[in-house]
Amino acid sequence: MSMKKEKIDFKKSLGQNFIFDTNLLNAIALDGLVDKSDTVLEIGAGAGSLTKVLTEKAKQVISFEIDKSLSVYLDKIDASNLTLYYQDFLQADISKIVPNNTRVIANIPYYITTPIIFKLVDNLPKFKSILVLIQKEVALRFSAQPNSKDYGITSVILQSIFDVKITRIVKRECFTPSPKIDSATVLLVPHNKYKIDNFELFKNFARTAFSMRRKTLINNLKSSFDKQKIESALNNFNFNLMIRPEEISVENFINLYNFLKNS
């Protein structure tokens, strides 16, 4: 499939920035751990350049594209292992569409990164890996470690259930049209390192803990827990009572959550 980039009507409102470099597209598929035994869910097919690469590397490709006008490119992909859905992924019932043990590859614009990620998280048992191409600054938040400016709610929530790794930086010049900032590919591989019996409650706990970044953990959590209980939890794990949320590791967030929930 060939296409003239200048003829595509790029829609700024949909955050459309496409990649046409075949070497980079192959590298992204490799970063996503795709092989011939895999079913791949692609979110944001665009003009189909990555879609075509995925059909060559995977057993089956299920691809979503919200912009029906791009069907002029996508429908030309000659691949019997491709199923296209011209609809908003966020509105799709993926429980009926996506089989278990699927890998995800998604080139997603900033304005819908969080809802797409959390839709995938909510359906996590279906996925064996997730590779997202997102703004570099967001990727840094996904993978950030404690005591860094990027470490926060997203870092804790994602790292509590995924091994998170930035696999490559993708310069803005690699996209058409070029965005104003660089991007990065982030690989999320589910793990079972920690016991979290109610993930929804844990997500709320993390959000509350980081509700006011400049404040201490006690001040942030006292809207949800008795202050003495919080102090008891911090003492139990030998934490300073003035500790701030960005100083606490993912594992210790889970320990604190479990302690407070069960105390």
CATH number of 53's domain: 3.40.50.150
Are residues 242 and 128 located together in one domain of the fold?
no
Query: Is the pTM of the predicted complex or chain greater than 0.75?
Result: yes
pLDDT reported for residue 9: 54
CA distance 254 to 260: 10
Are residues 184 and 212 located together in one domain of the fold?
no
Q: Could you say which of 190, 208, 235 is where a domain stops? A: 190
Are residues 30 and 136 located together in one domain of the fold?
yes
Q: Could you say which of 190, 222, 244 is where a domain stops? A: 190
| pLDDT band per the 50, 70, 90 thresholds, residue 100 | very high
Domain count across the chain? 2
Amino acid 26 reads: N
Are residues 182 and 67 located together in one domain of the fold?
yes
Are residues 234 and 183 located together in one domain of the fold?
no
Mean pLDDT of 203-229: 94
207: domain CATH number is 1.10.8.100
Are residues 118 and 162 located together in one domain of the fold?
yes
Are residues 216 and 158 located together in one domain of the fold?
no
Q: Could you say which of 190, 213, 239 is where a domain stops? A: 190
| Residue 220: half-sphere exposure toward Cβ, Cα within 13 Å | 21
pLDDT reported for residue 29: 97
pLDDT reported for residue 6: 43
CA distance 202 to 259: 12
Structural domain range at position 102: 5-190
Alpha carbon separation from 184 to 24, 27, 90, 168, 215 (Å, rounded): 12, 12, 22, 6, 31
pLDDT at position 104 over 60: yes
Kindly compute the dihedral angle of the four CA atoms of residues 91, 94, 95, 100, in this order, to the nearest 10 degrees. Answer: -160
- Which residue intervals of the chain are DSSP H helices? 22-31, 49-57, 71-74, 94-97, 113-122, 136-143, 153-159, 199-209, 217-221, 227-236, 250-262
pLDDT in tens, 140-177: 999 999 999 999 999 999 999 999 999 999 998 988 77
pLDDT reported for residue 59: 98
pLDDT reported for residue 179: 74
pLDDT in tens, 34-81: 999 999 999 999 889 999 999 999 999 999 999 998 999 999 999 999
Are residues 141 and 232 located together in one domain of the fold?
no
pLDDT reported for residue 8: 57
Are residues 59 and 125 located together in one domain of the fold?
yes
Are residues 62 and 148 located together in one domain of the fold?
yes
Are residues 86 and 209 located together in one domain of the fold?
no
pLDDT in tens, 177-195: 777 889 999 999 999 999 9
Are residues 205 and 185 located together in one domain of the fold?
no
| pLDDT band per the 50, 70, 90 thresholds, residue 202 | very high
